[in-house]
């Protein structure tokens, strides 16, 4: 399957600092990437949909000024958690959509980033 | 609201048995269906994708789709302890969004 690279895999930071997470599609171009958040033993919660060259679409309840998403190229999307607080501690996962039609598309995930805010 | 329902489990099966995982979805216009495996602390890994009614086999895995009943399942033959994980069902929700179920935890007993 297609490869999606996500870095860093683990971040520990102090409260009030900003953290940037990168998501790259290595062997395909992804016009659409998604950012998810997952709490322990819970399912994936979609935060935002990132389209190359345009503004991200945020899900209801997700603060766009806190979670800045940039999708500058067809292979790179970044999520910046600004002024992080302990409640932002979570597992963040990006994914990229491969395939042009709804009947052959697949969604591949990055390896995830465990964020711990002290 | 579009929903994907899964039994949370745990589903326990003995090693070598067939594990059957089920998923129902609410949106009749969905066209793409996926099964992901997620180990604890790791991100989901795509196991199977299915787009048309019927069965699709890949090694020990078989996905079954019935759009009339809005039902998709995953069969794992010759289950191994390494198959123990949470299995997420995902359905396309239109406008290139994907809706995930809460997952079924599978335990394969050695």
Virtual torsion, Cα B86, B103, A5, A111, nearest 10 deg: -50
Q: Number of residue pairs across A and B with CB atoms under 8 Å?
A: 52
**CA-CA distance, B103 to A111, in Å (whole number)?**
18
A42–B44 C-beta distance less than 8 A: no
Name the nearest CA neighbour of B25 among B6, B47, B53, B50.
B6
A22-31, A90-99, B75-84 — which one is most confidently predicted on average?
A: B75-84
**Strands, sheet with A4-7, edge to edge from the N-terminal-most edge strand:** A4-7, A19-25, A76-81, A67-73
- pLDDT tens per residue across span B8-41: 999 999 999 999 999 999 988 888 999 999 999 8
pLDDT at A1 over 80: no
Residue A24 to residue A8: CA distance in whole angstroms:
12
The whole-angstrom distance between B34's CA and the closest CA on chain A is: 8
């Amino acid at each position: 399957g297609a490869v999606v690279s996500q870095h860093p895999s683990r971040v520990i930071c102090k409260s009030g600092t900003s953290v940037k997470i990168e998501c790259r599609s290595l062997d395909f171009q992804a016009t659409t990437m998604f950012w998810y958040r997952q709490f322990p033993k819970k399912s994936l919660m979609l935060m935002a949909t990132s389209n190359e060259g345009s503004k991200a679409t945020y899900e209801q309840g997700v603060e766009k000024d806190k979670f800045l998403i940039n999708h500058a190229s067809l292979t790179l999307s970044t999520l910046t958690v600004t002024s992080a607080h302990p409640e932002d501690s979570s597992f963040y996962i990006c994914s990229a959509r491969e395939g042009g039609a709804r009947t052959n598309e697949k969604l591949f995930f990055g390896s995830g980033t465990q964020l711990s805010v002290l | 609201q579009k929903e994907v329902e899964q039994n949370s489990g745990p589903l326990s099966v003995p090693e070598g048995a067939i594990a059957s995982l089920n998923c129902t979805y609410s949106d009749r216009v969905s066209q793409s269906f996926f099964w992901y495996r997620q180990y604890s602390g790791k991100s989901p890994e795509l196991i199977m994708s299915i787009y048309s009614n019927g069965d699709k086999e890949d090694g020990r895995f078989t996905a079954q789709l019935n759009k009339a009943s809005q039902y998709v399942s995953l069969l794992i033959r010759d289950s191994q302890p390494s198959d123990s994980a949470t299995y997420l069902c995902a359905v396309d929700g239109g406008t290139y969004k994907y809706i995930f179920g809460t997952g079924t935890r599978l335990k394969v007993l050695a």
